[in-house]
Amino acid sequence: MRILALALAFLSPLRAQVTYERMLNAEKEPGNWLTYSGNYSAHRFSPLDQINASNVSRLKVAWTYHVNSLQKFEATPLVVDGVMYLAEAPSNVTALDTRTGRPLWKYRRNLPDDLRVCCGQVNRGVAVLDNLVFIGTLDAHLVALDARTGEVRWDTVIAPYRSGYSITVAPLAVKDKIVVGVAGGEYGVRGLLDAYEARTGKLAWRFWTIPGPGEKGHETWAGDSWKHGSAGTWVTGAFDPETNLVYWGTGNPGPDWNGQVREGDNLYSDCLIALDADSGKLKWHFQFTPHDVHDWDAAQVPVLVQDVVRGQKRKLVLFPNRNAFYYVLDRVSGQFLLGKPFARQTWAKGLDDSGKPIRVPGTFPTIEGTKVWPSVAGANNWYSPTYSPKTGLLYVAVREAGSIYYFGEAEYKAGERFDGGGFRNIPEEQEWGAVRAFRPATGDVVWEHKLFTPPYAGLMSTAGDLVFGETDEGQFFALHAATGKLLWRFQAGGGQIRSNPMSFLSGGKQYVAVALGNVLYVFGLE
Amino acid sequence: MIWLALLLLQQPPLLDLPPANPYTSPADLEQGRKLYLGRCAGCHGPAGDGGKGSNLAVPVLPRASEDRALYTVIRFGIPDTEMPRSLMAPREIWQVAAYVRSLGRIRTDAVPGDPARGAELVRGKGGCLACHAIGLEGGVLGPSLSAVGLRRSPAYLASRLLDPSVDIPEAFRMAELTTVSGRAVSGVRLNEDTYSIQVRDLTGALQSFWKSDLVSFKTERKTPMPSYRARFTDSELQDAVAFLVSLRGQP
């Protein structure tokens, strides 16, 4: 009888389906990790506490999975009921058994050999909805796989890859739709954010991040520059079911460092956009860096919290921007509430009352080179911050560095790089980094854990009073969430760490997973 | 090898590069000069005769004897060195390449001095081999001199013999540290991260420390190499430079 019940439970299609309701209530099933950032508010917080500040020193490798690629390994795996869905570079998916680490199925995509990617053939993860797993590909398709077999259910072209489009972002399942963005900011694409019907792969809505003729904002682009103005959407956003808005950061205007061919504010580049989840209509936008000439994409993860600002409890969105300013916006209206530097910066005297930067003259790129902080990679980048509802703190891996920015030619040719300049490190500058804990409403720093070099990987906080993070020197570590004290560390052999941690239960035991170098590590208590 | 594989993987096909530089007009050279002064001169020197970066004012560049190779080096940099990649437009890269080629044509150094006497000075009075290797002889504290004549101009070598503390390579940063047990260690920093540091000490031994086990440590771009201003006469300096310039590595 018990066996029959188990078999029924296992076979029941309801059990296997990742419904929208389950994602809405992700907190009720802490053993799973159903969306890129763990929940729709993009907290990258695990409510699990088996691994905690008192026992994390006993954390050991449970199993590893080597990917068959030397590209940067940027993916956050998802875990659904004991199965891990892992995106692998360049555009592949593997389902792994979380108990043993053994593959269950593999999807391997044949890609053309004339891809246009600026920064490595990477992928940041998959989305799941019902019995489907979704991956965006470097040839700019969105593909739905059967979660049980890995077979292709549908395959939709998002945009022509030969024009410079690619997809590296993890899609986000919202209601019955899959929201997906594009990369291509160094190829002069016209940016877009799309939603597809999850069941059929049909386009539900499209938002062009650069307004066309006659649309509001079009006038912020000189001449025809809007046609190749970039503004990609390559980092997964957040969703608030109460406002019914999808929050998504947009990338740099193109060409990156030559602003002369695109005079104007260049909307909606370097913005946070808030779109109606059903229609894709723009509810509001906030532009962090108008007329950006430093490649400071607002391609960061927006973090949704509630807190008191200016004497009133509000629905907020927190945005530690690549341009080195920390922003707090009202996420219902888009109103700017607070902004201040959270790392060294030399390009703005400050922000005005509306949140617009007051630029320091002489900070634009030149042929001879212009020294500016933060660096081209920014004070923050695509990797994830984390918010712990337990401590009420926001944690960010901060980069302290500058760059020398160069102005260069920018002539658009379809499918070729369109960046108009370049950059280099500042000779003799001792770059460094830190994990910093911020009070969300004020941006005040509560503690910091200094890092020898600027990090390029994200954080996860847990109910076990832990913040997990990575150095750029090969280490994965755990800090005390309240104090920043180093509690545990693991050297994974150096090399590039370009990923974010996540946590899940398997067989009732908590594990922490993270991609280090070209290996997925899964850690557990002995 | 892994670096090479990575480099190849990350490079788009270069097969469509023309075999010879298509941008070599006087206007291209002038634009190349401007770009060079902004992006390259910081390391390679305004005249291209080297500095932190290698000497480009030579008839044959060791890593880029032909134009396509030079383009590739400028575009993708040299892994595991401080030579970065560049995001300049293809035409701009060719213009810089054209200017770099012109550097080697402008001047060929007739080096005064006697290399044979220089060899004696380097091996004898100068004491250079206590720290530097030439082929199979010499020490490991400083960089090898086996092929220094390919990388450095005579003027650069002379100036560094007089003032060795300028342009210390990042790979030869000196570390000085003291452990909790009171042991003091100095040496070349080989690696460092947030939590640990690795050094090759003055005896050549490889050592590693957790930073939490150190009471103090610092790393500096400085060198134990003495100035030869007072140790060599002017003519001895010329002779030593003549010898060093002749060091072109194993045939």
**Highest mean predicted confidence (pLDDT) among A83-87, B13-17, B91-95, B188-192:** A83-87
Is the bond into A213 cis (omega within 30 degrees of 0)?
no
Average pLDDT over residues B74-89: 85
In a domain, A12, yes or no: no
CATH superfamily of B2-106: Cytochrome c-like domain (1.10.760.10)
How many other CB atoms are there within 10 angstroms of residue B124's CB atom? 10
| pTM for this prediction | 0.87
Chain-centroid distance, C-alpha A89: 16
pLDDT tier, B85 (very low <50, low <70, confident <90, very high otherwise): confident
Question: What distance, in Å, lies between the first and last C-alpha atoms of chain A?
Answer: 34
> Do the domains at B2-106 and B174-220 have one common CATH topology?
no
Q: Looking at the predicted structure, is the pLDDT value of residue A183 above 90?
A: yes
- Dump pLDDT digits (tens) for B194-246: 999 999 998 889 999 999 999 999 999 889 899 999 999 999 999 999 999 99
Count of structural domains, chain A: 1
The DSSP string of A20-62 is HHHHHTGGG-TT-B-STTSSTT---EE---SS-TTTGGGEEEE
User: pLDDT value at position A3?
Assistant: 54
Residues of A whose CB is below 8 A from B34 = 367-368
Q: Evaluate whether residue A500 is within a structural domain.
A: yes
Whether the Cβ atoms of residue A109 and residue A144 lie closer than 8 Å to each other: no
Q: In the predicted model, what is the mean pLDDT of residues A186-213?
A: 98
What pLDDT does residue B10 have?
A: 46
Residue A408 contacts B, CB cutoff 8 Å: yes
In Å, how far is A157's CA from the nearest CA of chain B?
23
DSSP H/E element including B246? helix B234-246
The ipTM assigned to this model is 0.83
- For A70-86, what is each residue's pLDDT tens digit? 899 999 999 999 999 99
Q: Which two tokens stand for residue A391?
A: 């401590």
Cα A190 to the center of its chain, rounded Å: 20
Contact present, A342 and A396 (Cβ < 8 Å): yes
Task: Compute the average pLDDT of residues A300-329.
Answer: 97
Residue A135 corresponds to which tokens in the numbers above? Answer: 């991956």
Beta bridge partners of A190: A230
Decide if A149 touches B, using CB distance below 8 A: no
> How near does any CA of chain B get to the CA of A114, in Å?
8
Most B-contacting residue of A406, A416, A423, A432 (CB-CB within 10 A), to test interface: A406
Q: Is residue A405 part of a domain?
A: yes
- For residue A2, being part of any structural domain is answered with no
For range B46-66, the mean pLDDT: 83
Per residue in A420-477, pLDDT (tens digit) is 999 988 988 899 999 999 999 999 999 999 999 999 999 999 999 999 999 999 999 9
Q: Does A119 touch chain B (CB under 8 A)?
A: no
Does any domain span residue A359?
yes
- Given a cut of 70, whether residue A57 has pLDDT beyond it is yes
Considering chain A, what is the average pLDDT of its residues?
A: 95
Domain boundaries, chain B: 2-106, 115-167+225-246, 174-220
State the nearest Cα–Cα gap between B195 and chain A, in angstroms: 8
Q: Is A368 in the B-facing interface, judged by CB distances under 8 Å?
A: yes
Strand partners for A348: A359
**CATH architecture, domain B115-167+225-246:** Orthogonal Bundle (1.10)
Interface contact A71, partner B, CB < 8 A: yes
Assigned domain for A109 exists:
yes
Residue among A406, A411, A475 whose CB faces B195 most closely: A475
Residues of chain B found within 8 Å of residue A430, distances taken between Cβ atoms: none
Residue A479 lies in a domain: yes
Which segment of A211-215, A354-358, A495-499 scores lowest on mean pLDDT? A495-499
Q: How many CB pairs under 8 A join A and B?
A: 63
* CATH code of the domain containing A61: 2.140.10.10
Distance CA B95, CA B89 (A): 10
Residue range of the domain that includes A487: 19-525
Using the Cα atoms of residue B112, residue B116, residue B120 and residue B123 in order, give the sign of their dihedral.
positive
Confidence grade of residue B87 (pLDDT, cut at 50, 70, 90): confident
**For the ranges A7-11, A47-51, A114-118, B106-110, the one whose mean pLDDT is highest:** A47-51
Confidence of residue A494 (pLDDT cuts 50, 70, 90): low
Contact B39 A451 (CB under 8 A): no
Architecture of domain B174-220: Roll (2.30)
What are the backbone angles phi and psi of residue B200, rounded to the nearest 5°?
-105, 110
DSSP annotation of B120? H
**Is the pLDDT confidence value at A366 over 50?**
yes
